[in-house]
Structure 1
């Protein structure tokens, strides 16, 4: 079955442009012109990913993302204007997987949609072995980060970032190295986006009593923390 993408934007030209590009790439596309219509579309037939504009009438994209996150971990790709840096950061804090700045290339949107869905869909043939560090367990088949057996509720991007650090627990990763591992060399993601994902992972783990999931090395980057176990 084709993976279903819900395109949410109050500009019909942008919806048409993205629907054409995504359909050409092999996706089944649905459209919504505002936030309320988007929530109704998700409730009627859950998509595999939502492409979500931030500035919309009748419930903006941030509020839509907040409500979607309250229901589950549906992947979200934000569309934002160049002057909406604060909104983009807030969107990442809410759990969005990525964002694209307007004006954008439809090819870039298709590439980012594909990258998010790939991260969210583990390959069964890989039969990944769970990783255990202290109180943290990464179930790579189920794409779940478990603290004392309780799911931290990470998004696909957050889980993949944590898995990058866990794959080499003694290594301090620069932000550029993390971006390369997540998206591939040359992918346009800012350092601030990585920092936002890190904060989100820390907050979710901290709600389960794990305050040392990720360590910061000033001026360098991040590495996996002791996760409740002495180093």
Structure 2
């Protein structure tokens, strides 16, 4: 059971979501405005927040940015806005997932469980540390480092990096990443993958033009590989 906060201004939708998630075993609280939701999230520290964007007082994206300033609670954005630029902006602001209305309580429940699994970390005793060059990823502790420097990764960034690092040298398609990392079996926006890869590159100290670990393969996907070591000059 998870402690869920639903931030939704439409009373009909809010009541339906509270009822549907409660029937699926969650403890659900709700708020009709962005500021009320932010206050509840900070004061009660729910396990996950379901956040609408079209709120009457403060736009949901602004609420998300304010929440990210004080908390790393997983956030599933649930909204009628389906524009790709809007989706990228929300992911860039720190959302963990995005679902477009109309959707069923069962689908939202599945999204909630998925983000909680990612945030909670792996507890499989057979999970072992993955090493690619000077990049080290421990799925048990959900910690990663490069060149001995700890990486501050969001749950999604960690899952993406771990998925790629567990397949060194293999080109992984964006569709596969959307299916396996984002749990979107019917596809999604490739831009979502591009945005997260950009964040990872920045944290790894590289760019798409000067790649060290993450190498894009045009029209196919991305692969991870250890940096090549240049041979020293000599006779």
Compute the TM-score of the two structures, normalised by the length of structure 1: 0.87
Structure of higher RCO (CA pairs closer than 8 Å, 6+ residues apart)? 1
Match for residue 218 of structure 2?
A: 218
Q: Is 1:77 matched with 2:84?
A: no
Deviations 1:157-182 (A, max 9, x none): 22111111001111010111112222
Change (3 A) 1:12 1:217: same
RMSD: 2.4
SS in 2 for 1:18: helix
Contact kept in structure 2, 1:122 and 1:143, CA below 8 Å? yes
Give the count of matched residue pairs. Answer: 227
Instruction: Give the match for residue 233 of structure 2.
Output: none
- Secondary structure in 2 matching 1:71: coil
Q: Aligned-pair distance for 1:185?
A: 7.1
Aligned partner of 1:32 in structure 2 is 31
Q: Which runs of 5+ in 1 are unaligned?
A: none
- In the TM superposition, what is the alpha-carbon distance from 1:212 to its structure 2 partner? 3.1
Distance 1:72 1:146 in 2: 22
> Within 2, Cα distance between the matches of 1:166 and 1:87?
30
Higher helix share: 1
Does residue 3 of structure 1 match 2:2? yes
How far the C-alpha of 1:82 sits from its partner, in A, is 3.8
TM-score, scaled relative to structure 2: 0.86
Extract unaligned runs of 5+ from structure 2.
231-235
Question: Contact 2:175/2:187 (CA < 8 Å) preserved in 1?
Answer: no
Q: State the structure with more CA Rg.
A: 2
Q: Distance in 2 between matches of 1:102 and 1:221?
A: 29
Is contact 1:95-1:200 (8 Å) kept? no
